[in-house]
C-alpha cells in the first residue's frame, strides 16, 4: 500500500526536538522527503553548540528516509526565504510547510520585560508568518504557471492561545495570533491550491515538561498520553493530499483525542435599533451574559 506522503517534500520548522522532531520522523515514515529546520537554541532562545536538526536528519536517513538540515532563523525574511530555497534546490519542489518553531520566556505580566515579550512574539508569530509568506509566494507562482499545487500549511497554536495561560501572556498572545493568521491565510491562499490549518497540541516537550510535571501519570498499557508522537499522525494527514477540502480549521490534539475547536461566533444578541444609554447597555449586557455559555478557564487559574 502506498504511503500517505510518498513523493511529497515537507518542511518542518523547530524540527530538532519535541513535537517538531516527532513530526519530521512521522512524515519521513510516510514517504516524505523532509527539510528539518532548527536554529539550535535552548528553551529560552539562547544558542547551544549542538545541531538537533542534524541528529533528526541522521535518524531519518538511518531508517531509509531522505532528509536535509536547515539551521536558519525563520523569524527573519532571509532565513525563511532560504528555508523554502533549501527545499526547492535539494528536492525541486515544496508541498507542505509545518510551522512549529518556538520557545518560552514565562513571567507574570507585571514582571514581563519588553525584551521577553518581543522575543517570544517574534519566534512564534513572526516565525510563522515569514515561512508561510515565502512558501505561499512559491505556490502562487506555481499556480499562475498552470501547475496548481496540492499544498498544505500546518501551524502550531496552543490551548494557551485559545484560553490563556497564567504566567504566559507573551506566549498566549502569540499563539492566539497564530489562529488569526491561519484563518486569513486559509482564505487568501485557497485560490492557489493551498490549505492552511492549525493544531493546538498538548504533549510533553522541553516547553511543557514543567507545566505537566504535577499532573502527569505513568503510561497505562504502554500508551503514554503525553508523548509528542501522538500529535504527529493528524499533522501528517493535514500535510498530505488526503486532507483535500480541509482548511481554516483548528484542531486540539492530546493523547488519543482529537477535537475540532470552534472559535468566536455570534452568541446571544440584543439590538435596540438605536443608541443605548450606558445604563441600558449595562442591563442588556447582564441579560445577555446570563444567556451565554460559560467560557473555559484560563490555564493555571
From CA 26, how far away is CA 21, in angstroms rounded?
A: 9
Q: Is 171 a catalytic residue?
A: yes
**Mean pLDDT on 70-99:** 97
* Strand partners for 254: 202, 257
pLDDT for residue 206: 53
Catalytic residue among 175, 192, 240, 243: 175
Q: Which long-range contacts (CB under 8 A, 24 or more apart) does 108-117 make?
A: 108/166, 108/167, 108/169, 109/169, 112/169, 112/170, 116/170, 117/169, 117/170
pLDDT for residue 222: 77
pLDDT for residue 215: 44
The CATH 3.40.50.720 domain(s) of the chain lie at 9-261
C-alpha distances (whole Å) from 72 to each of 35, 69, 77, 247 are 12, 10, 10, 28
* CB-CB contact of 131 with 99 (8 Å): yes
Tens digits of residue pLDDT in 186-245? 999 999 999 999 999 998 865 554 544 444 444 555 789 989 999 999 999 999 999 999
pLDDT for residue 212: 47
pLDDT for residue 45: 46
Catalytic residue among 82, 157, 158, 243: 158
Residue 51 or residue 274, greater confidence:
274
Q: Please indicate, yes or no, whether the overall pTM of this predicted structure exceeds 0.85.
A: yes
pLDDT for residue 207: 52
**Mean pLDDT on 125-152:** 97
CA nearest neighbour of 158 among 147, 145, 169: 169
CA nearest neighbour of 168 among 129, 124, 131, 128: 124
Neighbouring residues of 251: CB distance < 8 A, sequence distance ≥ 6:
197, 198, 199, 200, 234, 238, 258, 259, 260, 261
> With 80 as the cut, is the pLDDT of residue 162 above it?
yes
**Mean pLDDT on 135-148:** 96
CATH classification for the domain delimited by 9-261, as one of 3.90.1300.10, 3.30.2320.80, 3.40.50.720, 1.10.3720.10: 3.40.50.720
pLDDT for residue 216: 45
Catalytic residue among 171, 192, 232, 240: 171
Amino acid at each position: 500500500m502506498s504511503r500517505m506522503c510518498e513523493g511529497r517534500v515537507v518542511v518542518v520548522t523547530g524540527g530538532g526536538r519535541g513535537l517538531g522532531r516527532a513530526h519530521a520522523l512521522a512524515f519521513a515514515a510516510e514517504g516524505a522527503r523532509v527539510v528539518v529546520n532548527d536554529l539550535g537554541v535552548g528553551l529560552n532562545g539562547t544558542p547551544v553548540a549542538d545541531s538537533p536538526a542534524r541528529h533528526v536528519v541522521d535518524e531519518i536517513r538511518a531508517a531509509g528516509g531522505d532528509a536535509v538540515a536547515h539551521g536558519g532563523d525563520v523569524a527573519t525574511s532571509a532565513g525563511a526565504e532560504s528555508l523554502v530555497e533549501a527545499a526547492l534546490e535539494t528536492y525541486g519542489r515544496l508541498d507542505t510547510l509545518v510551522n512549529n518553531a518556538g520557545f518560552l520566556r514565562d513571567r507574570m505580566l507585571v514582571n514581563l520585560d519588553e525584551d521577553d515579550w518581543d522575543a517570544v512574539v517574534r519566534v512564534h508569530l513572526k516565525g510563522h508568518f515569514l515561512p508561510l509568506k515565502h512558501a505561499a509566494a512559491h505556490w502562487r507562482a506555481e499556480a499562475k504557471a498552470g501547475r496548481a499545487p496540492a499544498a498544505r500549511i500546518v501551524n502550531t497554536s496552543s490551548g494557551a492561545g485559545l484560553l490563556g495561560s497564567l504566567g504566559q501572556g507573551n506566549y498566549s498572545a502569540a499563539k492566539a495570533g497564530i489562529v488569526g493568521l491561519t484563518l486569513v491565510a486559509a482564505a487568501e491562499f485557497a485560490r492557489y491550491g493551498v490549505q492552511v490549518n492549525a493544531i493546538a497540541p498538548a504533549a510533553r516537550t522541553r516547553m511543557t515538561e514543567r507545566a505537566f510535571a504535577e499532573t502527569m501519570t505513568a503510561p497505562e498499557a504502554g500508551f503514554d498520553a503525553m508523548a509528542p508522537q501522538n500529535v504527529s499522525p493528524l499533522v501528517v494527514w493535514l500535510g498530505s493530499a488526503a486532507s483535500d477540502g480541509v482548511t481554516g480549521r483548528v484542531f486540539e490534539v492530546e493523547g488519543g483525542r482529537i477535537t475540532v475547536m470552534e472559535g468566536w461566533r455570534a452568541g446571544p444578541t440584543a439590538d435596540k435599533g438605536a443608541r443605548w444609554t450606558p445604563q441600558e447597555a449595562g442591563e442588556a449586557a447582564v441579560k445577555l451574559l446570563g444567556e451565554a455559555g460559560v467560557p473555559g478557564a484560563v490555564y493555571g487559574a
